[in-house]
Amino acid sequence: MNQAGGPTKISIRGLHKAFGAKKVLQGVDLEVPEGSSTVIMGGSGAGKSVLLKHVIGLLRPDAGEVLVDGGDIGHLHEGDLNTVRRQFGMSFQEGALFDSMSVFDNIAFPLRRHSGLDPDGVAERVRECLRIVNLHDVEGKMPAELSGGMRRRVGFARAIALKPRILLFDEPTTGLDPVMTALIADTIRALTEDETVTALTITHDLQAAYAIADRIAMIFQGRIVFCGPPEAFQTNTDPVVEQFRTSNPIGPWTEAEL
Amino acid sequence: MRALSTLDRAVTATIEEAGRWFTMLYKTLYWTARGPWDFREWFRQMARVGVDSVPVVFLAAFFTGAVIALQTYEGFQRFHAEGYVGSVVSLSMLRELAPVLSALMVTGRVGSAYAAEIGTMRVTEQIDALYALAANPIQYLVVPRVWASFIMMPLLTIMADATGILGGYLVAVGLLNANAVIYEQSTFQFLDLNDFGSGIIKAAVFGIILAVTGCMKGFHTQGGAEGVGKATTQSVVMASLIILLSDFFLTKVLFQ
């Protein structure tokens, strides 16, 4: 049991990852309770996306473990990972839509493969998902015909299509206007109202983080330096957290860049 | 010392590349065995490799057959052996030129496209998205492409055999006034089934080589649009070299 009340859904322990000489993660520890909406914050290049990709097994840890429902994701065989991933939904920074497929087919892709719905059921769910992200009359369009923000929202719709138990969102609101940001934030909140749905969102947008999170984690120099509810985040006096929160150009974030 | 460390780097890179190549080949076989197979996608890819390559392969084979006839007719006339031009054309087309030239043309057309497509999907995170949607990209993208190429390359080669012989015939009989009956006879006189069969086997192997190379290069693309361009170029160079090298060894084995 933990702050949000649910049992631990995702547990990251001592996670290390380096790309060549660049050490990105240097011992990340993070517990994500079931039914919580956790936001991971941090500057560009802090390793947020790398962390998220470990949770779904897109990257393998150099050291440490990533447990989902108590099972270690990091050492699963590719074929078994495929099965585990069916309970995941993930949206990517630029949407990562399949550009050879229409918007409809993009969102229908996971439904056709894994949902067992008939074509009518698939079409209905696709439209429902598009309504959730407030997109209309785009079903037949190709990703290249959409704006960046629209692509992101289609990517978001695709991620939630299968009603997954674990949602991973990589910068879902970056590049969206304030209204759409609020809409996406509300949607993430609404999805995690269901106690069995756990969301892990990456952002560096403070407003979005406050709207989405019931827990905020801050990653700095490859480690989690803060993890707690938004209220605690707002009053925390750790220099790393404080500089980020107050948008101060002077502090550990900028010193680390030097 | 410096020369040695440069050599070390080059050798290491080559071995790593070979490792990636064989891993891609192995994973293709693994995911083929694992199924399920999306035959719709197989056919779509077969149309791309096969049907869409017909014009280039046709032209390449036709003019190759034609130029062999032109060259050898000139030369063979000097020792009154122009009656054997048909044999030279048919033997060189079936055994060597039809499979190799078709493979090089298809490498340029299709292998490069594989690298560019899959490379673009890699740098725009579409490959990651496939994984995340529990669709293995090897199974979804690579398996249909490799088998499409494996199946269609022999068929393209059979067509290239025929067009090459036709090109030679038209030049010899039409342009150089060779005797049509003698030319026809000499075309098939010395052929046996192994000449035809070995070309087909080569073509199938080349089909696998060009597809695996293109997919592997695409799969390991790094660094945005520039990386995609690099992967595409490298896939063509690498596949062409492997095709030419393996051609030698295949010939050695097939005619032992």
Distances (CA, A) of A75 to A69, A79, A125, A246, B67: 14, 12, 34, 40, 58
Is the minimum CB–CB distance between A98 and chain B shorter than 8 Å?
A: yes
Confidence of residue A1 (pLDDT cuts 50, 70, 90): very low
Tokens of A74: 């990091």
Q: Residue A82: list chain B partners with CB under 8 A.
A: 134, 136
In this structure, are residues B215 and B32 in contact, taking their beta carbons and an 8 Å threshold? no
Q: Residue A90: list chain B partners with CB under 8 A.
A: 129, 132
Confidence of residue A148 (pLDDT cuts 50, 70, 90): confident
pLDDT over 70 percentage in chain A: 97
Residue-wise pLDDT for A75-123, tens only, equals 888 878 888 888 899 999 888 999 999 999 999 999 998 888 899 999 9
Is the minimum CB–CB distance between A74 and chain B shorter than 8 Å?
A: no
Q: Residue A159: list chain B partners with CB under 8 A.
A: 132
In this structure, are residues A90 and A159 in contact, taking their beta carbons and an 8 Å threshold? yes
Residue A3 pLDDT greater than 60, yes or no: no
Which among B121, B125, B132 has the least Cβ separation from residue A56?
B132
Residue-wise pLDDT for A13-35, tens only, equals 999 999 888 888 898 999 999 88
Residues within 8 A of A (CB atoms), B 134-163 only: 134-136
Size of interface A-B (CB pairs under 8 A): 58
- Using CA atoms, how far apart are residues A221 and A215, in angstroms rounded to an integer? 20
Residue-wise pLDDT for B167-187, tens only, equals 999 999 999 888 889 898 989
Q: Residue B136: list chain A partners with CB under 8 A.
A: 78-79, 82
Is the minimum CB–CB distance between A53 and chain B shorter than 8 Å?
A: yes
Q: What is the pTM of this model?
A: 0.88
- Using CA atoms, how far apart are residues B63 and B67, in angstroms rounded to an integer? 6
Residue of A nearest to B123 (CA): A96
Residue B252's contacts (CB-CB under 8 Å, 6 or more residues apart) are none
Q: Residue A83: list chain B partners with CB under 8 A.
A: 134
Q: For chain A, give the mean pLDDT.
A: 87
Of A53-57, B15-19, B63-67, the poorest mean pLDDT is in A53-57
Residue B21's contacts (CB-CB under 8 Å, 6 or more residues apart) are B212, B213, B216
ipTM above 0.85, yes or no: yes
Residue A196 pLDDT greater than 90, yes or no: no
Is the minimum CB–CB distance between A40 and chain B shorter than 8 Å?
A: no
- Using CA atoms, how far apart are residues A230 and A236, in angstroms rounded to an integer? 10
Residues within 8 A of B (CB atoms), A 111-130 only: 113-114
Please state the φ and ψ torsions of residue A93, each to the nearest 5 degrees.
Answer: -50, -50
Residue of A nearest to B126 (CA): A96
Q: Residue B129: list chain A partners with CB under 8 A.
A: 90, 92, 96-98, 155, 158
Containing H/E element for A205?
none
Which among A81, A92, A97 has the least Cβ separation from residue B128?
A92
Which among A90, A93, A99 has the least Cβ separation from residue B132?
A90
Torsion angle defined by CA atoms of residues B28, B34, B35 and B41, in that order, rounded to the nearest 10 degrees: -10
CA-wise closest residue to B202 among B131, B99, B84: B99
Residue A243 pLDDT greater than 90, yes or no: no
pLDDT of residue A239: 84
CA-wise closest residue to B33 among A79, A85, A115, A80: A79
pLDDT of residue B103: 96
Do A99 and B136 make contact, defined as CB atoms within 8 angstroms?
A: no
E-strand ranges in A20-137 read 22-33, 37-41, 63-68, 71-72, 88-91
Residue A213 pLDDT greater than 50, yes or no: yes
Do B132 and A109 make contact, defined as CB atoms within 8 angstroms?
A: no
Confidence of residue A257 (pLDDT cuts 50, 70, 90): low
Tokens of A189: 């909140």
* Bridge partners for A90 per DSSP: A168
Do A96 and B34 make contact, defined as CB atoms within 8 angstroms?
A: no
Do A78 and B136 make contact, defined as CB atoms within 8 angstroms?
A: yes
pLDDT of residue B81: 86
Residue-wise pLDDT for B186-239, tens only, equals 898 888 899 999 999 999 999 999 999 999 999 999 988 999 999 999 999 999
- Using CA atoms, how far apart are residues B89 and A101, in angstroms rounded to an integer? 46
Mutate to test the interface with A, among B37, B114, B133 (most CBs of A within 10 A): B133
Residue-wise pLDDT for B33-89, tens only, equals 987 888 999 999 999 999 999 999 999 999 999 999 999 998 898 898 888 899 999
CA-wise closest residue to B106 among B205, B20, B4: B205
Residue-wise pLDDT for B90-125, tens only, equals 999 999 999 999 999 999 999 999 999 999 999 999
Do B131 and A57 make contact, defined as CB atoms within 8 angstroms?
A: yes
- Using CA atoms, how far apart are residues A170 and A42, in angstroms rounded to an integer? 12
pLDDT of residue A5: 57
pLDDT of residue A255: 78
Q: Are strands A71-72 and A88-91 parallel, antiparallel or unpaired?
A: unpaired
